[in-house]
């Protein structure tokens, strides 16, 4: 991916669930307090002319993104789109709610990628892999459903030639460096400040921005 020149302003849009949202409604800048804000601050400090737009909503699954993909993404004319979704599709199931099949998950994710290709063909797409930090047995159980969906995202990213932010590898590297699962995501799903820093750094590295 080619980084924008300092004189060219672009709209960088992030759409996803609570990890992206990160209390953006309480933030006057609308960025939240997580990885999206860290990325925006990095770009500002680097002199990169960019408008960062956060369209995360807590609790959302891939089908929820599909339902709002027009007004919350396509209609905003983004120059780069980051999609970060998937953990709720599995976490909610483990908590006893409806199951999202791999077929349905892939159909919805593929639809979003198709819409991006048709309506904003010049916009690079960044796909972020959802992850779970195994803080306990309950969190570890999420992998039984999530791993198949992660494999789908990997395959779609390769198929479409999109940038992939591999948070599974980021998590493995962080654990190998001595961080504990709880230091990365207190409940196994929602990142701590250190976890959000890991995500932001991985996004910046993957995109080259």
pLDDT at 164: 98
pLDDT at 97: 85
Residue 2 located in a structural domain: no
Over 70: is that where the pLDDT of 52 sits?
yes
Over 80: is that where the pLDDT of 6 sits?
no
Q: What percent of the chain has pLDDT over 70?
A: 96
Residue 25 located in a structural domain: yes
Q: Average pLDDT of the chain?
A: 95
For residues 132-147, give the mean pLDDT: 95
Picking from 65, 47, 48, the residue whose alpha carbon sits closest to that of residue 56 is 65
Residue 195 located in a structural domain: no
* DSSP letters for 124-170: -EEEEPP----SSHHHHHTHHHHHHHHHHHHHHHHHHT-EEE-HHHH
Q: Number of folded domains in the chain? A: 1
Over 60: is that where the pLDDT of 3 sits?
no
Structure tokens, 175:
């654990």
Over 80: is that where the pLDDT of 209 sits?
yes
The Cα 84–Cα 129 span in angstroms is 7
Q: Whole-prediction pTM value?
A: 0.94
CATH number at residue 66: 3.40.50.1110
187 Cβ contact list (under 8 Å, min separation 6) = 135, 139
For residues 104-112, give the mean pLDDT: 98
Structure tokens, 139:
């969190």
Q: In what order do the strands lie in the sheet with 125-128?
A: 50-56, 10-16, 80-84, 125-128, 163-165
Over 60: is that where the pLDDT of 1 sits?
no
Q: For residue 32, what are the domain limits?
A: 10-129+137-166
- The 10s digit of each residue's pLDDT in 153-189 is 999 999 999 999 999 999 999 999 999 999 999 999 9
For residues 60-66, give the mean pLDDT: 98
Q: Are 132 and 188 in contact (CB under 8 A)?
A: yes
């Amino acid at each position: 991916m080619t980084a924008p020149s300092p004189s060219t302003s672009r709209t960088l849009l992030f759409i996803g669930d609570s990890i992206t949202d990160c209390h953006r409604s309480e933030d006057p800048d609308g960025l939240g307090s997580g990885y999206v804000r860290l990325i925006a601050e990095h770009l500002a400090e680097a002199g990169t002319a960019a408008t960062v737009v956060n369209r995360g909503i807590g609790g959302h699954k891939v089908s929820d993104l599909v339902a709002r993909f027009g007004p919350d993404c396509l209609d905003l004319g983004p120059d780069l789109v980051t999609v970060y979704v998937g953990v709720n599709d599995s976490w909610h199931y483990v908590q006893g709610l409806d199951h999202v099949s791999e077929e349905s998950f892939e159909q919805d994710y593929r639809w979003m990628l198709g819409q991006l290709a048709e309506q904003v063909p010049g916009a690079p797409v960044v796909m972020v892999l959802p992850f779970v930090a195994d803080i306990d047995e309950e969190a570890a159980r999420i992998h039984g459903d999530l791993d198949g969906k992660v494999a789908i995202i990997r395959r779609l990213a390769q198929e479409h030639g999109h940038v992939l932010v591999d948070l599974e590898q980021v998590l493995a590297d962080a654990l190998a460096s001595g961080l504990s699962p709880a230091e990365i995501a207190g409940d196994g799903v929602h990142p701590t400040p250190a976890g959000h820093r890991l995500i932001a750094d991985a996004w910046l590295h993957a995109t080259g921005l």
